[in-house]
Amino acid sequence: MCTIPPAPPPPQPPIPPSSNSPPKLSDFSPTFNNTDICEWATHEPQLWEICAKSDICLHEAPFQYKYKHFESIMQVGPTCGLVALSMLLNGEVTADELLDISKIEGYSNNGEMFSCVNMAKLAKKALSLAERKNIDVFVKTGNLFSEEIIVELINGAVLLVAYDADFNHSPCLRHGHTAHWALVCGVVVVKDPGDSYIADPTNVYVLCRHGKSRYLAAWTLNDLDKSNKNLWEFSPKKQEDGLFYVLPEGGIGEINGLRDQFVLFKGL
C-alpha cells in the first residue's frame, strides 16, 4: 500500500532588511524592482528608490545632481533638530550628547531647537567635539530657493532647515505649529534651467533626511522654502502639554527664531 507524502511546508517569508543598514535594490517590493527606471541612481539604493517613487528623472539622468549619504537616526521625543545634527556628524556625537550640551548652554530643555542661531552654535561645538576641522557654518537669512543656495548644494554644501511637517512629514504651511528639522543632503536639477535655476519652481528637488523616517525624502526646494518662511508661531498644543520649552526672545517667527532662516555647512 502506497501513501502520498505530506506537502512540503510553505517557504519562510523573506527576512526584512536590517534597520541599521541601508537597503539594497533587491530589498524593495516588486513594484520598485524595475531597474530600467532611474538607471542613473542605481549605485545609491535609497536615492534610486525615492526618485522612482516620486517620478523624478525616470528615463533619463537629471541635468545636475549631488547626493551625500548619511545614516538615518530615529528621534525620541522632540529631538528632531538634535537628531538631524547627529546624522550630519554620522552619529559621532549622539543626540543624547547634544541634548546634554544644549541644556548646559540653555538652548533647549527637552530637545527642542527653536533658534537657528543656537543651532549653529551647537553645531560648532559638536564639530569641535567630533574633531571635524575646516568646516564652515553659516546662519543664512532668506533666499533658500535661490541661485546661490542651489549652486552651494551642487558643490556639496549641506543644510539644516526647519519647516512645518505634514502628516507624511513633507513641507506644509501650518504657521510653525508642526515645526520640524530636516537635513538637506542633496539636490536634483531635473532639466537644463537655462539662464536661471529658479525660473521653474518644479525643476529643483532637495534630498532630505529627518528623525521620523529611516528613508530618504525628496521635496521641491520651493516647497521647503515656503514652509520655512511660514514658521510664525510656537504650537498652541505644545504650550499646554505640561513641558517647559526654551523659546527665543520674540518667538520662533522673529530674528532669533526659525522663520526664513537655515544653517549652511561647507567643507563636509
**Integer Cα distance of 12 and 263 in angstroms:** 47
At 35 the pLDDT is 63
Q: Which one is catalytic: 51, 57, 80, 116?
A: 80
Condensed to tens digits (0 to 9), the pLDDT of residues 207-254 reads 999 999 999 999 999 999 999 999 999 999 888 888 899 999 999 999
Taking a C-beta distance cutoff of 8 angstroms, is the pair 71, 91 a contact? yes
Please tell me the distance from the alpha carbon of residue 81 to that of residue 102, in angstroms, as a whole number.
11
Of all residues in the chain, the percent with pLDDT exceeding 90 is 84
- Report CA torsion sign: 106, 253, 149, 56: positive
C-alpha cell, 203: 525643476
Q: How far apart are CA 31 and CA 214, in angstroms?
A: 20
What is the model's pLDDT at position 242? 82
DSSP for 48-67 reads HHHHHHTTSSSSS--SEEEE
1 pLDDT band, cuts 50/70/90, is very low
The full set of domains in the chain, from first to last, is: 38-266 (3.90.70)
Spatial CA neighbour of 137 closest among 229, 257, 248, 267 = 267
pLDDT of residue 5: 47
Cell numbers linked to 71: 545614516
Tens of pLDDT, residues 105-135: 999 999 999 999 999 999 999 999 999 999 9
pLDDT band at 33 (very low <50, low <70, confident <90, very high): low
Mean per-residue pLDDT, 51-59: 96
Per-residue confidence (pLDDT) for residue 239, from 0 to 100: 85
Query: What is the bridge-based pairing of β-strands 158-165 and 204-209?
Result: unpaired
CB burial class (10 A; 0-12, 13-18, 19+) of residue 104?
A: exposed
C-alpha torsion sign, points 222, 227, 228, 232? positive
Known active-site residue 80: yes
> In this structure, what C-alpha cell is assigned to residue 87?
546624522
Q: Supply the angle between the helices 116-129 and 80-88 in degrees, to the nearest 10.
A: 40
Query: Residue 34: which pLDDT band, with cuts at 50, 70 and 90?
Result: low
Tell me if 218 sits within 8 A of 207, measured CB to CB: yes
Q: Which of 157, 147, 138, 193 shows the shortest CA–CA distance to 66?
A: 157
